[in-house]
Amino acid sequence: MSNWLKGCLVLLVLLAIAMWFGFRKMSQVAEGPPPMVTIKAPASRVFASLANGDSISTWMGRGGAARVSRRGPLMSGDTIALQTQNRFGGNRDRMRWIVGEVVPDKLLVLQLLDDSTGKVMGTRRDSLIAVGDSTRIISNIAVVDLATMAGPSVDSANKSAAAVLKVGERMMFSAFRMESKIELERLKKRIEGHR
């Protein structure tokens, strides 16, 4: 029995260390510069791939799992649903982005909605800037203040709950930033023709 307890203790220590390193990495991502990428193509070409329902599945989400509510150029109000495979077959929606604003060749704003409350959980602003014959995309991410969203039940009297929500908010922010960087790199490879 003591060997079993020692094994469990070692496992818990290793898990705590892994969580600590993961949290540190997430904190570094949250504190760093916003995700950006420079693509060797004019803004009109980059925007045509970035904000078009026909090409979104090639760079957004993983493995062509993005579905758009309609084909062609995105318009305010369009929905982008990212799906994952169910373990028992079929697809399920992982998250839904709503197109908030579209400024051709300059800006695409997406808002992540909570399916149960309909509230905005996060916003992604992809800004395009012409740099010579290339285009730089800067992806600014914002997430909702989870403590405010939780309501008056989480106030200064309940500091531990507020702290947990702050950690969750920071992790969500970091995860969105990391995913945005991966997606921008995929978009760059698609446009520049790299395999």
Token output for 79: 């929905």
Dist CA 46 CA 187 (whole Å): 8
Looking at domain 35-192, its CATH superfamily turns out to be START domain (3.30.530.20)
| Cα angle, residue 167 at apex, residues 163 and 169 outer, rounded to 5° | 110
Indicate the domain borders of the chain: 1-32, 35-192
So what's the pLDDT on residue 41? 94
* Coil vs helix vs strand at 7: helix
pTM strictly above 0.85: no
Higher pLDDT among residues 88 and 174, named by residue = 174
Higher pLDDT among residues 146 and 175, named by residue = 175
Long-range pairs for 54-58 at CB < 8 Å and ≥24 separation?
55/190, 56/80, 58/186, 58/190
DSSP type of residue 55: T
